Chain A
Amino acid sequence: MQILASSLLLPLMLARCGAATRPSPPAGPEQALQLGVSVWDDTSMPVRVAPSACRQGEPAWLGAGHLYCFQVTETASYRFELAPQFQGSIQVQERDREHPWDFGVGQASAKPGEVAVVRVALDPGLYQVVIDGSHWPKTGYWLQVDRDTSSSALIGREDRARVAALEAHAEPLRLGERAFGVYRSTPGGARTSCGLVGGDAVRRLTLDRPARIRLRAAAHFPPAIEVRALHENRSLGCAGAVEGSHEAELVVDLPAGEHLLVLDSLAIARHHMHFETNGIMTGAYVVDAAEVAP
Chain B
Amino acid sequence: MKAPLLALTAVLLTSALGSLSCAATRFTIARPYRGTPCPPSEVIAPLPSLGHDPKPFELERSPDASDRLPVRSAPSYTHRFELETSGTTAALRAVTADEGQPVLVVGDRGTALVRDPKSGWKSEQTGTTEDLFALSRAPSRIKGEAGSYLAVGSHGVALVRSPEGAWQSEATGTLADLHAIWGGSLVVGDGGVMVARSPEGSFRRVPTHTTANLHAIGRCDTHICAVGDGGVIVDCSFATGEPVCVPRRPPTTAALRVVSNEVFILGEGVWLSIAPRSASNPDPPPEWQPWRLAGPSVAGSDARAAARNHWVGAEMLVAGRRGAVWLVGNFTVMKHPVQRIDVPYTVDFHGVTYERTDGFLVGDAGTIVKLGVMSFRPPTTCLAATDALAGPELTDSRS
Contacts and interface: CB of A to CB of B under 8 A. Distances in A.
18 contacts: A218-B209, A219-B246, A220-B246, A246-B244, A246-B246, A269-B282, A270-B240, A273-B239, A274-B282, A280-B281, A280-B282, A283-B237, A283-B284, A284-B235, A284-B237, A284-B247, A284-B248, A284-B285
Contacts of A247: 207
Interface string B279-290: 101111100000
Given A273-B239, A283-B237, A184 B247 contact: no
Interface string A24-60: 0000000000000000000000000000000000000
B285 A283 contact: yes
Contacts of A181: 249
A269 B239 contact: yes
Contact of A220 (B207, B249, B283, B285): B285
Interface in A145-198: 178, 180-182, 184
A182 B284 contact: yes
Q: Is the interface of B mostly helix, strand, loop or mixed?
A: loop
A184 B209 contact: no
A139 interface: no
B282 to A, nearest CB: 4
Given A181-B249, A284-B247, 9 more contacts: A184-B279, A219-B244, A246-B246, A277-B282, A280-B281, A282-B282, A284-B237, A284-B285, A285-B246
Contacts of B239: 220-221, 269-270, 273-274, 283
* Among B207, B209, B246, B249, residue most surrounded by chain A Cβ atoms (within 10 Å): B246
A286 interface: yes
Interface residues of A, number: 24
Interface string A245-277: 011000000000000000000000110011011
Contact of B237 (A178, A220, A276, A277): A220
A286 B247 contact: yes
A221 B285 CA distance: 12
A182 B281 contact: no
Q: Is the interface of A mostly helix, strand, loop or mixed?
A: strand
Contacts of B235: 220, 284
A284 B246 contact: yes
A218 B249 CA distance: 13
A181 B287 CA distance: 11
Interface string A216-238: 00111100000000000000000
Interface string B241-257: 00010111100000000
B293 to A, nearest CB: 25
A44 B249 CA distance: 59
Contacts of B240: 270
A246 B247 CA distance: 13
Given A220-B239, A273-B239, A286 B246 contact: yes
Nearest to A288: B209
Given A218-B207, A218-B209, A270-B240, A180 B248 contact: yes
Contacts of B247: 178, 180, 284, 286
A180 B244 contact: no
Contacts of B248: 180, 284
Nearest to A269: B282
A237 to B, nearest CB: 22
B35 to A, nearest CB: 42
A263 B285 CA distance: 17
A184 B277 CA distance: 13
Contacts of A219: 244, 246
Interface in A280-294: 280-286
A220 B281 contact: no
A274 B249 CA distance: 24
By Cβ-Cβ distance, the 4 closest A-B pairs, closest first, are A180-B249, A274-B282, A284-B246, A220-B237
* Among A181, A184, A220, A282, residue most surrounded by chain B Cβ atoms (within 10 Å): A220
Contact of B285 (A182, A269, A270, A281): A182
Contacts of B207: 218, 247
Contacts of B244: 219-220, 246
A280 B279 CA distance: 12
Contacts of A221: 239
B345 to A, nearest CB: 39
A267 to B, nearest CB: 9
B1 to A, nearest CB: 42
Contacts of B249: 180-181
Contacts of A283: 237, 239, 246, 284-285
A186 B281 CA distance: 13
* Among B207, B237, B248, residue most surrounded by chain A Cβ atoms (within 10 Å): B237
Nearest to A182: B284
A270 B244 CA distance: 15
Given A218-B246, A284-B246, A284-B248, A276 B285 contact: no
Nearest to A274: B282
Interface string B295-338: 00000000000000000000000000000000000000000000
Contacts of A286: 209, 246-247
A177 to B, nearest CB: 12
Interface in B193-209: 207, 209
Contacts of A285: 246
Contacts of A180: 247-249
Contact of A277 (B209, B281, B285): B281
Contacts of A218: 207, 209, 246
A158 B235 CA distance: 29
A280 to B, nearest CB: 6
Contacts of B237: 220, 283-284
A182 B275 CA distance: 14
Nearest to A247: B207
B284 A184 contact: yes
B196 to A, nearest CB: 15
B246 A282 contact: no
A201 to B, nearest CB: 12
A285 B249 CA distance: 10
Contacts of A269: 239, 282
Contact of B284 (A178, A273, A276, A282): A282
